[in-house]
Structure 1
Amino acid sequence: MVKKINNFSKKITETDDLPASHAMLYAIGIKDTDFKKAQVGIVTNWYEGNPCNIHLDKLGKIVKQSIQNKNKLNVFQITTIGVSDGITMGTSGMRYSLPSRELIADSIETVIHSHHYDGVIAIPGCDKNIPGVMMALLRLNRPSMIIYGGSISSGLYNKKKLDIVSAFEAFGEKNVGNISQEQYKQIIKHSCPGPGSCGGMYTANTMASAMEAIGMTLPYSSSYPATSKNKEIECQHSEQYIYNLLKYNITPKDIVTKNSIENGIKLAISLGGSTNLIIHFLAIAKCANIKLELKDFQYLSSITPVIGNLKPSGKYLMEDIHKYIGGMPVIIKYLINEGILNGNCLTVTGQSLYENVKNLPNINFKNQKIIYSLKNPIKENGHIKILYGNIATKGSVAKISGKEGLYFRGIAKVFNSEEEANTAILKNNIKKGEVIVIRYVGPAGGPGMPEMLKPTSYIMGAGLSKYVALITDGRFSGGSHGFVVGHITPEAYYGGVIALIKNGDFIKIDSENNTITLEVEETEIKKRRQFWSPNKSKIQIGYLYKYMKTVSSASEGCITDQ
């Protein structure tokens, strides 16, 4: 039997002793006939300062108009924050990127709870937006769905496709004289041609793909380009799905299960996705009351081949999946049929993941090199490695595609900030065979665990990617590639062994045995610890100060609601 769908809003709209509440609802245009309708919040991460987010208000208005046309629900637009990783990368502003995830989740929870909305449609863009809204939806656990804002179109210069990482790497190329100042300027001008999230399998597209595999978006949401007619149609169709979710009281915790989370992780790994998925999925799982640990990522990576020839390690962009593969559901169908994904999981359509895709054409491996067959994968198992050792007793995360090799032993070159490392790379002070160590940039030490895309891009641009490694207690952008290890825990700020490394020490990274080792005797490490003292935090006031006091380690998802 179908129940009433205004389970939360009726506490305000159908209560006689809240006259001021009713007066304010009349003031915003609610009519007498609307008071018994369910109320839905449309939450966008819209702001004008970032291509990933600039169009989200337009998408939200399409959703709102579609719902109003049916006249079954009351609908209200809400805007929460976002931080542009691309704009803040390499600056002090990047410290706010990961912490913005918590603000997004907290702000959505605050508005929906306080106003007693019955359901939510969330429209995120940039990469912290997606886990932020997902965390909020799980905490709220009211009928909800996500519409991904979509990825950007590729840029073009000199007959070469470009994206945001092209811009970062161009600086390194210019610095070593491989391109001219004019070529550099043209690459910058043409890398980002309009609205949409960064086009490779970077963090935004990684998380969007994962949300589709989990079942929290409609089919195709992750692969429809931001400016496509398909994205507008998806927004228009959302009305019928949010109504059905309300009607049958299907909530995020009905959809987000251990099996569906594993689906999301495995799809992301198969496409060569960002290492950021680890801290985001750890946080999402906690909000869903599902046990998930670092060892689970190692296991899932070990049984999931990489078949996506996608940037940054590969060649293609999300727009190519849309144009040449037929969209993400075609890949999902293939992975279900091959036993990689569990097709029985419930989705926001009210049907299972398999039912959503079963009637689609099978993937065609001829005449395309974007998605490979499992019979001939790019990599037999996943590119994500969880490494342990005396440097990382609580774990670390490596992104090893195999192109850079599986083993690296080199001499430590230590930096206590990203800025120092960037200066050294640009001054050509990094030599082949060195392991760059960037520390005091963890969740508390940063604070905010900024991404190290600048140094990894400079390394790539300088042609050093095969000859040096980089380790850090910070994290990496989805656009980073090379022999890199991040999320080192315990972090330097709390006296982790990474804080005790000295220039000239040998460091061994073995991705086959999943180890990262400082080749220094334990007695020497203990001696160094006696002379170590914690650095005073760079931040003594404001949100980042509160964040560093409450944030968990990277191995626990960098969450603050403990």
Structure 2
Amino acid sequence: MPALRSNFSPTSALGIARRAQWRALGIPAEDLVKPKVAIVNTSSDLAACYAHLDDIVTVLKKELRGHGLLPLEIRTVAPSDFVTSAGRAGRYILPSRDLIVNDIEAAVEGAQLDAMICLSSCDKTTPAHLMAAGRLNVPTVVVPCGYQNSGLAEGREADVEEVFLLAAQAAVTGAPTDELADLADDAILGPGVCSGMATANSMHLVAEALGMAVSGAAPVRANSERMWDGVGRAAAAIADLIGRDVRPRDIITAGSIANAVRTMLAVGGSMNTIKHLQAIAVESGVEVDVWELFRTLGRETPLLAAVRPNGPWLIERFEDAGGGATVLRELLPLLDGEQITVTGETVAQSADRARPADGEVIRSIADPFGTDPAISVLRGTLAPGGAVAKRPVPDPGPHRFTGPARVFGTREEAIAAIGSGRLRRGDVAVIRGIGVSGAPGMGLTSAFIFALHARGLAHEVALVTDGQFSGLVNQGISIGEVSPEAAADGPLGRVRDDDVIDIDLAQGRVDLLVDEEILSAREPYRPPADRDTGGGMLDQYEQLVQPLSCGAVLCSRPAASVCGAGAAASTPPPTSEGSSPRPATATATAPAPAPAKEHA
């Protein structure tokens, strides 16, 4: 076993102080020299997502002690998209991801702990845990902690996503809401994340595809035997990683990130995984343009699953058909199978043990649900840095939309325009100034899209925004996360009413049909002076956040010094007594494996 950075000289001031603190907690003296593993817990009473994590900690501590390790629980902020999106129009949601990363750094790096096991639950915890793993580069295993038992799974009428959609529509149409309370009471029947292929389950799959979770870890029912088996295997894996000194930057490489991109394309995962994977790459020092990977690989990667809200299948059926492990098995001809995982096996070795596709819920690459990308990255004169659209499985179209712009500064203004008649069939609604720095924190536009749906305009009005929207959105043509954003003087900030916007999903383009000379002569966008940022965290975020091309990571240095074409240079954390410097893994952007012949 390598020297442990957590073991200070027993006669040094720090060594004596640690002994005093930890002996007072009842830790035996002989355990003080063992590898110290942080159990990163996001337990919270704010949402059902986290309700079972404290129970997992109890079991995990026992497992880790059995492997000769000293577990030390730490806690972080615990955001929930359904609960902590209430304040300031949801602008705390994305910044909370990076707050979790900083929480982990302060505890793990501050205490010089030796390794981490991260209990990942709701949307922002998994990307944050993977980002922290890349930044700190200490042995790490991510444990996907499962999805909730839903009303739909029990033969009832709704899950939480269905309730959210119905409530949003009722708010616009004024429809009776008498039944909504009963639906809400039946929607969530246990702890865990939302029971669909939205951001949480998508990021759990990303962790496995990257090799940072044990094989077969996702998706998994919360508190099921499979979840508890994964907890036990994660404890064994972290002991092995410490013994062999294998670290996240040995696992998170250009090849493993390409594998994760392929996996998301194959299951129609959340569009949010693009910026999260880019942020993971940046924090891990991997030079790769994730946006371009989604753009290019999307045209070469077949759709192997159609889980709600993308298709008809419940997440339970997907898990029972083999889940992420089976998808990786079927995708193996398109993957870099030699990438290593936290178990010590390669991706190919792990995939070899997975069950084959059943041909119904999960299909083979020879007989996919479709070949059109469920996640489309677009570029063009309106989004030279990229933008993203989410599509249903299969995709009935339309794939092209051309119309005059109607420009709005907030989603509320755009919603009001539906009723007032300012926004009409054939228009392209432009909601701008709500990107990562313009909001700041990235505004949510889902309510506007649901309003269009409620008014029967989902396929009659397109949306282009530098904000974000829910993974539930996959109807009509909605283009989000336009980069550069308006506040960074992107072309979106110079759009005027009646400018013509052309969206072509088949070609992956979104263009502003305005002469360049006319556009450059216009005044750039300026954020309104009366933005409600609260004078605290969001103001700090605005000063530090980097563009989406960098994954919206936080850094006080200029963007050019943090990442190039979506890539970054990262400095290893400082070392101290009992540890040695460990350089970042030098991983150049590698071409993705060639697609299977029938999908070339």
Q: Which of 406, 422, 443 pairs up with 1:450?
A: 443
Aligned-partner residue type, residue 473 of structure 2: S
Offset, 1:426: 6.7
Task: Single out whichever of 188-197 and 136-145 deviates more from structure 2.
Answer: 188-197
Whole-Å separation in 2 of the counterparts to 1:246 and 1:150: 25
Task: Single out whichever of 459-468 and 263-272 deviates more from structure 2.
Answer: 459-468
Q: Which of 186, 208, 211 pairs up with 1:212?
A: 208
Corresponding position: 1:57 with 2:50: no
Aligned-partner residue type, residue 507 of structure 1: I
> Does the 8 Å CA contact 1:55/1:196 hold for their aligned counterparts?
yes
Aligned residue in 2 for 1:256: 252
> Does the 8 Å CA contact 1:169/1:458 hold for their aligned counterparts?
no
Aligned residue in 2 for 1:297: 294
Task: Single out whichever of 489-498 and 439-448 deviates more from structure 2.
Answer: 489-498
Whole-Å separation in 1 of the counterparts to 2:319 and 2:474: 24
Corresponding position: 1:496 with 2:493: no
Aligned residue in 1 for 2:402: 409
**CA 361–222 in structure 1, closer or farther in 2 if over 3 Å, else same:** closer
Task: Please list the CA deviations of residues 321-349 of structure 1 after superposition, one character each: whole Å capped at 9, or x if unmatched.
Answer: 123x033212211211xx12222211111
Structure 2 gap ranges (5+): 556-561, 563-600
Aligned residue in 2 for 1:42: 39
Aligned-partner residue type, residue 239 of structure 1: A
> Does the 8 Å CA contact 2:310/2:391 hold for their aligned counterparts?
no
Offset, 1:430: 4.3
> Does the 8 Å CA contact 1:387/1:514 hold for their aligned counterparts?
yes
> Does the 8 Å CA contact 1:410/1:434 hold for their aligned counterparts?
yes
RMSD: 2.4
> Does the 8 Å CA contact 1:414/1:436 hold for their aligned counterparts?
yes
Offset, 1:271: 0.4
Q: Which of 268, 280, 283 pairs up with 2:276?
A: 280
Whole-Å separation in 2 of the counterparts to 1:255 and 1:157: 35
Aligned-partner residue type, residue 546 of structure 2: S
> Does the 8 Å CA contact 1:451/1:476 hold for their aligned counterparts?
yes
Q: Which of 347, 350, 355 pairs up with 1:353?
A: 347
Aligned-partner residue type, residue 29 of structure 2: D
Whole-Å separation in 2 of the counterparts to 1:188 and 1:460: 21
Q: Which of 359, 371, 396 pairs up with 2:362?
A: 371
Whole-Å separation in 1 of the counterparts to 2:396 and 2:549: 26
Task: Please list the CA deviations of residues 426-454 of structure 1 after superposition, one character each: whole Å capped at 9, or x if unmatched.
Answer: 77864322222111110011110133222
Aligned-partner residue type, residue 368 of structure 2: P
Task: Please list the CA deviations of residues 351-410 of structure 1 after superposition, one character each: whole Å capped at 9, or x if unmatched.
Answer: 112222313332221xx3x32332332321422222222222222222244333211112
Aligned-partner residue type, residue 355 of structure 1: Q
* TM-score, with structure 1 as normaliser: 0.92
SS at match of 1:481: coil
Aligned residue in 1 for 2:101: 105
Aligned residue in 1 for 2:383: 392
SS at match of 1:10: coil
Aligned-partner residue type, residue 505 of structure 2: S
**CA 445–385 in structure 1, closer or farther in 2 if over 3 Å, else same:** same
Q: Which of 141, 146, 159 pairs up with 1:145?
A: 141
**CA 429–220 in structure 1, closer or farther in 2 if over 3 Å, else same:** farther
Task: Please list the CA deviations of residues 169-227 of structure 1 after superposition, one character each: whole Å capped at 9, or x if unmatched.
Answer: 21354367697433333333333333111121111111111110111011222211113
SS at match of 1:488: strand
Whole-Å separation in 2 of the counterparts to 1:165 and 1:424: 26
Task: Single out whichever of 110-119 and 84-93 deviates more from structure 2.
Answer: 84-93
SS at match of 1:238: helix
Percent identical: 30
Aligned residue in 1 for 2:513: 519
Aligned residue in 2 for 1:80: 76
> Does the 8 Å CA contact 2:85/2:93 hold for their aligned counterparts?
no
Aligned residue in 2 for 1:460: 453
SS at match of 1:398: strand
Whole-Å separation in 2 of the counterparts to 1:259 and 1:244: 23
**CA 360–49 in structure 1, closer or farther in 2 if over 3 Å, else same:** same
Whole-Å separation in 2 of the counterparts to 1:71 and 1:175: 54
SS at match of 1:181: coil
Task: Please list the CA deviations of residues 216-261 of structure 1 after superposition, one character each: whole Å capped at 9, or x if unmatched.
Answer: 0112222111132321232233322211111111111111111111
Corresponding position: 1:313 with 2:310: yes
**CA 172–39 in structure 1, closer or farther in 2 if over 3 Å, else same:** closer
Offset, 1:458: 2.9
Matches within 5 A, 1:422-433: 422-425=415-418, 430-433=423-426
> Does the 8 Å CA contact 2:169/2:450 hold for their aligned counterparts?
no
Whole-Å separation in 2 of the counterparts to 1:37 and 1:379: 51
Offset, 1:112: 0.8
Whole-Å separation in 1 of the counterparts to 2:52 and 2:520: 54
Aligned residue in 2 for 1:18: 15
Task: Single out whichever of 77-86 and 388-397 deviates more from structure 2.
Answer: 388-397
Whole-Å separation in 1 of the counterparts to 2:174 and 2:510: 34
Whole-Å separation in 1 of the counterparts to 2:59 and 2:446: 35
Task: Single out whichever of 327-336 and 104-113 deviates more from structure 2.
Answer: 327-336
SS at match of 1:354: helix
SS at match of 2:22: helix
Structure 1 gap ranges (5+): none
Whole-Å separation in 2 of the counterparts to 1:501 and 1:23: 63
Aligned-partner residue type, residue 40 of structure 2: V
Whole-Å separation in 2 of the counterparts to 1:230 and 1:428: 53
* TM-score, with structure 2 as normaliser: 0.86
Aligned residue in 1 for 2:585: none
> Does the 8 Å CA contact 2:546/2:552 hold for their aligned counterparts?
yes
Aligned-partner residue type, residue 414 of structure 2: A
Whole-Å separation in 1 of the counterparts to 2:526 and 2:497: 18
Aligned residue in 2 for 1:550: 544
